[in-house]
Amino acid sequence: MKTLPALLALCLLGTACGAEVAPESERGPRPVTIENCGQRIQYPLPERPVAYDMSATEKMFALGLADRMRGIVLPSTADEPASRSPYRKDYESVDVLGKDVLSREVVVDAKADWVLAGWNSGFSEERGITPELLNQVGIKSYQFTESCFNYGNNPVQVPPLEAMYTDMRQIGRIFHVEDRANKLVADLQQRAAKLRQNQPDGKPANVFVYDSGTDKPFTSGRQTAPNAIISLAGGRNVLEGVNDRWTTVGWESVVNSAPEVIAVVDYGDQPVEDKIKFLKSFAPLANTPAVRNERFYVLDYGQAVSGPRNIEGAEQFARYLRSIGR
């Protein structure tokens, strides 16, 4: 007759007491632990992931994960930029779960187990969809590293390109496609290095990023992708001294910076042609070099948000600057 300790040992080994332990290959890959916005989080392999807006969605697409996604939430204001995206076939292949802002109801109804979005660009305290609240209902989440700048009492500040590279690598780890992620990041870094090497000598062109707004312009500070795009291309964001992400400023500071080029973000309910028409007619800007010389560059929304197309955006903007002798 076996002693009690012996029986317990057999139970713990899974060879008695009715237990059977499947090999690891059948249980799936082990969870990974990753630091996101200053918090260490354990992620099992997501089975029903949801992404919000173009930044999150195209990070997933670039890693070849479209066929693993439960769906996306894509505001209608991004419909036109998405239709121009090199990932448009992927957009067509995934379910669109909503055409408005991200909400807890949408992801719960979709039975999502993982959500990818940014803080204040998806996740929101006011709208009741935060990583903490999702975790309470069993849904894991990952926030863009760029958006950690605005998150919590101890914000994490990472330059925009490094933030994007971090996201690509870490999403790669979460979905166990590390090799693909590392190759993608290496390629992007190589292209970025080439842009830096080919920058012209002399003072860089002053560039103002215009998203929207009439009373006050909504624009990019130094903590968002357009600042990196402009810098890589050999220009200077006139608001690089503003330590913020997307924000509003006064027109006076823009006028005093004498921008040579205005990069107009093609996004939102207002057609880019109407934005340019306003800028041309806005009296305070009339004597700036950009308006006098009609140097308006259209920056695609898919390139302006944090994602793998940031480098493509910098390459195209560099060609534009060289075409005007800058």
Rounded CA-CA distance 250/216 in Å is 6
CA 244 to chain CA centroid, nearest Å: 16
pLDDT given at position 26: 56
pTM of the shown model: 0.90
Q: What is the dihedral of CA 256, 260, 265, 266, to 10 degrees?
A: 140
Pick the range with the lowest mean pLDDT from 38-42, 155-159, 262-266.
155-159
pLDDT greater at residue 85 or residue 19: 85
pLDDT tens digits along 270-316: 999 999 999 999 999 999 999 999 999 999 999 999 999 999 999 99
Write out the two tokens for 167. Answer: 């996201």
What are 105-164's pLDDT values in tens digits?
A: 999 999 999 999 999 989 999 999 999 999 999 999 999 999 999 898 878 999 999 999
Q: Say how many C-beta atoms besides its own lie within 10 A of residue 66's C-beta.
A: 19
Going along the chain from its start, the domains and CATH numbers come out as 25-191 (3.40.50.1980), 201-323 (3.40.50.1980)
Instruction: Tell whether the model's pLDDT for residue 23 goes beyond 90.
Output: no
Give the per-residue pLDDT at 314. 98
C-alpha atoms less than 13 angstroms from C-alpha of 89 in its C-beta half-sphere? 4
Structure token digits, residue 58: 């195209």
Confidence (pLDDT) at 155: 83
> What 3-state DSSP class applies to 164?
helix
Percent over 70 (pLDDT), the chain: 92
